[in-house]
Structure 1
Amino acid sequence: MQITSEQRHDDGVLERAFTLGETPGTLWTPGENVGSGPLPLVLMSHNNGLPMADPRLTARARYTAARGYAVATIDAADCGDRPRTAAHERARADLRRAMEAGEPVDELFESLVGPMVENAVPEWLAVLDALLALPGIHGPVGYSGGWAALGIRLAAVEPRIVAAGFFAGGYVPRAQREEARRLTIPLLFLLQWDDTGNPRQRALDLFDSFGGEQKTLHANVGGHTGTPWFELEDGCRFLDRHLKEGGAAA
């Protein structure tokens, strides 16, 4: 892992850009006056396709880091600002046209997001290994993000991930819907009740399919980008309970 730049923010959070092979990423860690000892790690993703530098993600990452976590994100293959294949661009354009026309999109969605998950997971796992080898960072590991399909697959294959927070998406590939049934780690599921791009009933069905008993659903009125800011604070309390020693008693 090569650190390519670093910046100390006014809140004390240190932001470091890095590369691992062809994978670009960002790591945030808290100021020196926050806690002591090795830091638990949160893998934080945005919706597939959006860049890791999106202001909503960076704001969430800095807030979470300031609470005493190492937080990392990457632009995986076909995501963010990384080059995309012609096939990927065609699949995305076909999906957009179908959604605008009100046509069925399930198969188009499978052809776009299914390969994205398959390509992204190995890069996330390689970055996870590299991060946990850094001094000052340790498990347990949590996942937080809007790309539910990615989080489901990562949690299904990586036992070091012990808790996950998802921004609910109605469209999740069939493979991840099946994997969700086998997940038993604690989950926090955020649902925007009026998100026209993510069918509500599909999101509720996905929540119901998760196999664990420690799962919580927070539903708020509003559209896709209207998640209330207080949910970020609640999300950090969720992470505290499951990633920090003694958090369950806090």
Structure 2
Amino acid sequence: MQFTSEQRLDDGVLEREFTLGEIPGTLWTPGSAAPAPLILMAHNNGLPKSASRLVARARYSAASGYAVACIDAAGCGDRPRSAADEQARADLHRAFQADEPVDEVFESIIGPLVENAVPEWRTTLDALLSLPAIGGPVGYSGWTAVGIRLAVAEPRITAAGFFAGGYVPRAQREEARQVTIPLLFLLQWDDEGNPRQRALDLFDAFGSKEKTLHANLGGHTGTPWFEVEDGNRFFGRHLK
């Protein structure tokens, strides 16, 4: 892991850009000297790690005493897309324009993204836990499709917060039954393009004995800020 830049923010949080092989990422750590528990924060497909909503969540959590890391998955942010990726996205745009079913196109885009992203997240986690500023335990917050696979594959993750918006491939809907860690699931009740019943069925499928659903009125990007605060309290119960 090579750190390429760093700056101390007004709230005392240290923000550092890093590269790990071909993986670009950002790490935020609190101002305190003690090793901090870690939250892996994954954005939805296509958003860069510098997206303002993600950065605001990361900084808030870091100021609350967590180390927070985000990476750009292959084909996301500034990372190049393959010809197959570009074709799939063109097919998706065409299907939306023609008001055609899009599930199969989403399968062709999101499925490979999940398969590629999870090994990179696990490699990143190995590197992060070797840093003296990070002491674990580890939580996950963000993109549901990647989060399900990562929660199943990675025993070091002890709690997760999922955002219901975004397509979840059929393979991850089946894997949801294997997710047994404490779970906070955020649902926007009027999320355009993300069927509400599908999200409710997914919540029902999770195998966790402790799982909580928070549903708020509003569209895809309307998640209230107080859910970030509640998320920190959730992680406080399980990571601190």
Both proteins in one fold, TM over 0.5: yes
Distance 1:157 1:138 in 2: 20
Paired position in structure 1 for 2:38: 41
Aligned residues of 2:165 and 2:220 also touching (Cα < 8 A): no
Listed one character per residue, the Cα deviations across residues 52-105 of structure 1 (whole Å, up to 9, x for unaligned) are: 000100000000001100000000111111111111011112112213432111
Counterpart check, 1:23 vs 2:19? no
The change in CA–CA distance for 1:170 and 1:207 in structure 2 (over 3 A counts) is: farther
Deviations 1:162-208 (A, max 9, x none): 10001103621111111101111010000001111211111111111
2:82 aligns with one of 85, 94, 102:
85
- Residue 202 of structure 2 corresponds to residue 193 of structure 1: no
Deviates more, 1:130-139 or 1:101-110: 101-110
Residue segments in structure 2 that go unaligned for 5+ positions in a row: none
Aligned twin of 1:213: 209
CA RMSD of aligned residues (A): 1.0
Q: TM-score, normalised by structure 1?
A: 0.94
Q: Indicate how the Cα distance of structure 1 residues 100 and 242 shifts in structure 2: closer, same or farther if over 3 A, else same.
A: farther
Q: Separation in 1 of the partners of 2:93 and 2:214?
A: 28
**Is the 1:141–1:163 Cα contact (8 Å) retained in structure 2?**
yes
Is the partner of 1:181 in helix, strand or coil? helix
Match of 1:112 in 2: 109
C-alpha change, 1:170 and 1:22, in structure 2 (3 Å) is closer
TM-score by length of 2: 0.97
Residue number among 208, 231, 238 corresponding to 1:235 in the alignment: 231
Gaps of 5+ in 1: 245-250
Structure 2 Cα separation of the partners of residues 202 and 92 of structure 1 = 23
Query: Do structure 1's residue 122 and structure 2's residue 119 form an aligned pair?
Result: yes
Q: Percent identity?
A: 78
Q: Is the 8 A contact 1:171 1:202 kept in 2?
A: no
What secondary structure does 2:50 align onto?
A: coil
Distance 2:59 2:15 in 1: 8
For residues 160 and 94 of structure 2, the distance between their equivalents in structure 1, rounded to whole angstroms, comes to: 32
| Aligned residues between the structures | 240
Secondary structure at the residue paired with 1:166? strand
Contact preservation (8 Å) 1:170, 1:199:
no
CA contact (8 A) 1:94 1:108 kept: yes
Counterpart AA for 2:5? S
Assess if the C-alpha contact under 8 Å between 2:29 and 2:133 holds in 1: no
The CA distance in 2 between the partners of 1:103 and 1:21, in whole Å, is 39
Return the alpha-carbon distance in structure 1 between the equivalents of residues 96 and 189 of structure 2. Answer: 19
Question: Distance between the aligned counterparts of 1:38 and 1:103, measured in 2?
Answer: 50
Mapped to 2, the partners of 1:95 and 1:105 lie a distance apart of: 7
CA distance in 1, matches of 2:85, 2:50: 21
SS of equivalent to 1:91: helix
